């Protein structure tokens, strides 16, 4: 086990109530994204448990938590770990997505291309949950998604959907409508 991970386990031993990624980063004087990565590695190796909620609190497993371990239903929250191929065919894509999210200071804009039905929206939702878990987004940040293919034949409608529409901008625009950017 890595030295940093052992330090984190020691911190969690001293703090039975648990710690967030920010707490660990502050106490070990490391970057929060690195703390989050170490905690995720420990969680995947079943050395620690995490509680549902925002921010995520990590702690050492108790005997009760081992026997009563609650598995989050994949329909409730989609994460990279729930994707088929996370360690194989999607490994590079997941690494790139995580790098884009964690890129200082506030991540990189991302566009996801692919064939119909390949899971682009699900992948985007995984990115969203990772950003919240990594505290790059606030817990109440909205997830706004739309399918560009629905607007392929009408670029005006696409721009209106993204940026909003002013009343009277075109025939049928009877009222102002905020775009997705305003909603996000």
Domains detected in the chain: 3-67 (1.10.10.10), 80-133 (no CATH), 148-183 (no CATH)
pLDDT 10s digits, 25-53:
999 888 888 888 888 888 888 889 888 77
Does residue 95 carry a pLDDT above 90? yes
- List, as one string, the DSSP characters of 19-82: B-HHHHHHHHT--HHHHHHHHHHHHHTTSSEEESSSS-EEEPPPHHHHHTPPPPPTTT---GGG
Q: Are 50 and 129 in contact (CB under 8 A)?
A: no
Euclidean distance between the first and the last CA atom of the chain, given in angstroms as a whole number: 41
Q: Confirm whether pTM is higher than 0.95.
A: no
Mean pLDDT, all residues of the chain = 82
């Amino acid at each position: 086990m890595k030295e940093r991970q052992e330090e984190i386990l020691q911190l969690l031993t001293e703090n039975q109530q648990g710690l967030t990624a920010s707490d660990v980063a502050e106490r070990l004087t490391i970057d929060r994204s690195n703390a989050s990565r170490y905690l995720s590695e420990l969680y995947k190796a079943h050395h620690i448990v995490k509680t549902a909620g925002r921010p995520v609190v990590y702690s050492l497993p108790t005997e009760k938590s081992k026997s009563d371990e609650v598995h989050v239903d994949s329909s409730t929250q989609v994460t990279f770990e729930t994707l088929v191929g996370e360690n194989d065919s999607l490994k590079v894509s997941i690494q790139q997505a995580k790098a884009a999210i964690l890129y200082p200071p506030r991540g990189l804009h991302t566009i996801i291309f692919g064939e119909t039905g390949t899971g682009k929206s699900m992948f985007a939702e995984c990115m969203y949950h990772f950003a919240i878990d990594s505290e790059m987004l606030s817990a109440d940040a909205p997830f706004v998604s739309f399918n560009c293919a629905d607007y392929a034949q009408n670029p005006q409608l696409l721009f209106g959907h993204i940026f909003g529409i002013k009343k009277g901008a075109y025939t049928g625009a009877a009222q102002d409508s905020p775009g997705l950017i305003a909603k996000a």
